[in-house]
Amino acid sequence: MDASIKYRIISEIINSNDERILNAIKSLLNIEEEVDFWEELSAEDRAAIDEGLEQLDKGQYVSHESVREEIKNRFNF
């Protein structure tokens, strides 16, 4: 198959709004839709992440260095 036919096929796909055809092509090419990881999280997990981000924005966090120092002091490392 020459390149001009391939380009025409690609052009037809890009310009198509026919869901039936597009789904058939997707199936033919074994293309699976990617799911955003955020949508797979539970509502509780999303809320916890949002809360953590808000805390970071407010400066309410413990630095890596201070945690290392606390562990060092607590366990005599």
So where are the chain's domains?
1-33, 37-75
d(CA 75, CA 77): 6
The whole-number pLDDT of residue 60 equals 95
The whole-number pLDDT of residue 75 equals 93
pLDDT at residue 17 is higher than 90 = yes
pLDDT at residue 35 is higher than 90 = no
Contact (Cβ atoms closer than 8 angstroms) between residue 46 and residue 38: yes
Looking at residues 40-69, what average pLDDT do you find?
95
Contact (Cβ atoms closer than 8 angstroms) between residue 37 and residue 49: no
Greater pLDDT, 12 or 1: 12
pLDDT at residue 34 is higher than 90 = no
Looking at residues 44-49, what average pLDDT do you find?
97
Looking at residues 42-67, what average pLDDT do you find?
95
